[in-house]
Amino acid sequence: MSREFSTPSPYSRRHFLRNAGIGTALMGGAAFNPVLSSTASAASESYKVAPLHQLLLLSNEWCTIINDAALRAAKVLGLPYQSTTFNLNDSLALTQAQSAAAAGAKLFLTNSMDGSSLGPIAKTAHSLGGYLVNVGTDIPWTSPLDYGPGFSQDFHPREDIGFYGAVRETVRQAVAKFGDKATFFHITGPTGTFADDLRSAAVNHAVSEFPGVKIIGSLPGNWNAGDGQKATEDLISRLGVPNGIIAQNDGSLTGVLAALRGLGIKAGDKVLTCGVDGSTDILRAIKSGRVTATAFQSPAYHGIQAVAHLFDALNGYQFTTPERFVGFAGIVVTKDNVEGVLKRYVDNPNLPFDPRLLSHVISGDNWDPQAPLVPIKYEEYFGVVPKPAGYKPPAAYVASIKSGEFDRVTRQYEAAYKLKLEDFDYPGVKV
């Protein structure tokens, strides 16, 4: 593996990740071996460490990058690391977490599909003196505060800012190119998924700012290329060629591009497109002019931030209430900045963020979130779905807002943010 890391560019994250599966397996073998893990990092010599287990889906670029980044961040911080794939089935996630706990894991990172496993996993972690961070979906109107101290943090990309920005930019360019009556298709994700509801809300918000623009057709692309392709083909058959297509995931946007190519329609010229996530092929498609914009939400940051948070929690750092429900907006990528995004985040063999700087325990006053990380108000995040009957926000959350703690922490985070996402010359951390 070390030989791979020293290989000079050109080097893409795909090349690394193809080998990372083997690396993960090797790390997994070493994960619960105290002799091997004690030599993993200098950090382990002075800080408390414990095995970390991630639950993820390996057939998806987003999750694969989170896994790779978390693996390397754990290595930097000296945390033994193992992961299993739960196929986006929360019931299976719980089983796997309990098995991992039985094998010694205390720290858990999950990408929950629907939030149903979070409570039981948090309880399991807490019973072992450990913690859970979730970078996936919650049950709407719930937060870590509802599940006790074992559930240390929920982390979410801000679709209402990042994806909204990508859609807005694409619609703006479509209006400039085709006029203020531009028409769009909307390729949604799996029906009934909360994360997709957030994305739909962002699309509706962005489009509503251009009164003449209309979404004339919508079908689910289910966040994958095959369904995205089929949905686009069928919508074009039914409604003709639109001026733009908004896909609620870069996987389905890959299918949109394939459908346009198959029908002889030039993407980027006759039809403008946008997506969300920032997958490698879509970033390259932006560079070649076939895609107008995507919201790059850095899956690597999801993994590294979560590992640093778990490390801090294990080492006794007391997170305030607002710090347990946070998110960031990512970067709206267009042709103007795609070169930089590819340079720092895709073609860079190093970790694009420094896990040590993300650790309060290690960095102290020099702590830098390295992204516009901010606490999220529940009303802003969950507002797209109705509150459950008799809903009352957690008392600690209400107290945090009332006392001014929420605003104070928000300002602290903003002030601490020094290494910018847009600093594309940052070389990263060699692991």
Partner 1 sequence: MTTIATDAPRATDETAAGGPWHSWISRESRATWLPIIALFILVGCFVAKSSAFLSPMNMVVMGAQGGPLLLISLGATFVILMGSIDLSVGGVAALSAALSGVALHDAGVSHGLALAVAVVFGIVAGGFNAFLVTVLRLPSFIATLASGSIFNGIMLHVLGGMALSVADDDSFADIAGSQFIPLVPNVLFYAVIAWAVLTAAQYNTRFGRYTTAIGAGERVALLTGLPVNRYKAAVFILSSTLASVGGFFLLSRLGSATPSIGDGYLLDSVAAIVVGGTALTGGVGGIGRTILGVALITILSNGLNVCGVSSFTQEIVKGAVIILAVLTTIDRRTLLTVVK
Residues 44-73 binding partner 1 (CB under 8 A) are 58-61, 63-65, 67
Please report how close the Cβ of residue 117 comes to partner 1 at its closest, in angstroms. 21
Q: Which is nearer to partner 1, 255 or 375 (CB)?
A: 255
Residues 191-220 binding partner 1 (CB under 8 A) are 191, 217, 219-220
R_g over Cα of the chain: 21
Task: Tell me the C-alpha to C-alpha distance, in Å, between residue 113 and each of 2, 196, 253, 319.
Answer: 34, 11, 21, 25
CA atoms within 13 A on the CB side of 193: 19
Q: Which is nearer to partner 1, 132 or 219 (CB)?
A: 219
The CB density around residue 399, as the number of other CB atoms within 10 Å, is 12
Cβ-defined contacts of 268-273 (< 8 Å, 24+): 268/292, 270/241, 271/241, 271/242, 271/243, 271/244, 271/245, 272/170, 272/173, 272/174, 272/177, 272/243, 272/244, 272/245, 273/170, 273/244, 273/245, 273/246, 273/247
Binding to partner 1 by residue 19, rule CB under 8 A?
A: yes
Residues 248-267 binding partner 1 (CB under 8 A) are 251, 254-255, 257-258, 261-263
- The encoded tokens of residue 373 equal 């990380």
Identified binder of partner 1 from the candidate list 187, 195, 235, 374, rule CB under 8 A: 235
Q: Which is nearer to partner 1, 231 or 361 (CB)?
A: 231
Q: Which is nearer to partner 1, 205 or 284 (CB)?
A: 284
Identified binder of partner 1 from the candidate list 281, 339, 368, 405, rule CB under 8 A: 281
If DSSP codes are grouped into helix, strand and coil, which group holds residue 413? Answer: helix
If DSSP codes are grouped into helix, strand and coil, which group holds residue 170? Answer: helix
Identified binder of partner 1 from the candidate list 104, 226, 268, 393, rule CB under 8 A: 226
Binding to partner 1 by residue 238, rule CB under 8 A?
A: yes
Please report how close the Cβ of residue 189 comes to partner 1 at its closest, in angstroms. 11
Binding to partner 1 by residue 28, rule CB under 8 A?
A: no
Q: Which stretch binds partner 1 (CB under 8 A): 41-49, 135-143, 199-207, 274-282?
A: 274-282
Q: How far apart are CA 140 and CA 214, in angstroms?
A: 29
- The encoded tokens of residue 28 equal 């997994």
Please report how close the Cβ of residue 154 comes to partner 1 at its closest, in angstroms. 24
Binding to partner 1 by residue 135, rule CB under 8 A?
A: no
Per-residue three-class SS string for 181-220:
CCEEEEEECCCCCHHHHHHHHHHHHHHHCCCCCEEEEEEE
Please report how close the Cβ of residue 222 comes to partner 1 at its closest, in angstroms. 9
Please report how close the Cβ of residue 284 comes to partner 1 at its closest, in angstroms. 7
Binding to partner 1 by residue 239, rule CB under 8 A?
A: yes
Distance of CA 73 to the CA centre of its chain: 16
Please report how close the Cβ of residue 391 comes to partner 1 at its closest, in angstroms. 26
Please report how close the Cβ of residue 286 comes to partner 1 at its closest, in angstroms. 13
237 and 204 Cβ atoms separated by less than 8 Å: no
Query: What letter would DSSP give residue 246?
Result: E
Please report how close the Cβ of residue 56 comes to partner 1 at its closest, in angstroms. 9
| Torsions phi, psi for 173 (to 5 deg) | -65, -35
Please report how close the Cβ of residue 13 comes to partner 1 at its closest, in angstroms. 8
Instruction: Single out the residue of 133, 127, 84 nearest to residue 107, CA to CA.
Output: 133
Q: Which is nearer to partner 1, 22 or 26 (CB)?
A: 22
Which residues are CB-contacts of 22 (< 8 A; sequence separation ≥ 6)? Answer: none
Q: Which stretch binds partner 1 (CB under 8 A): 172-180, 232-240, 355-363, 398-406?
A: 232-240
Please report how close the Cβ of residue 431 comes to partner 1 at its closest, in angstroms. 17
Binding site residues, partner 1, CB under 8 A: 13-22, 58-61, 63-65, 67, 191, 217, 219-220, 224-226, 229-231, 233-239, 251, 254-255, 257-258, 261-263, 279-281, 284-285, 288
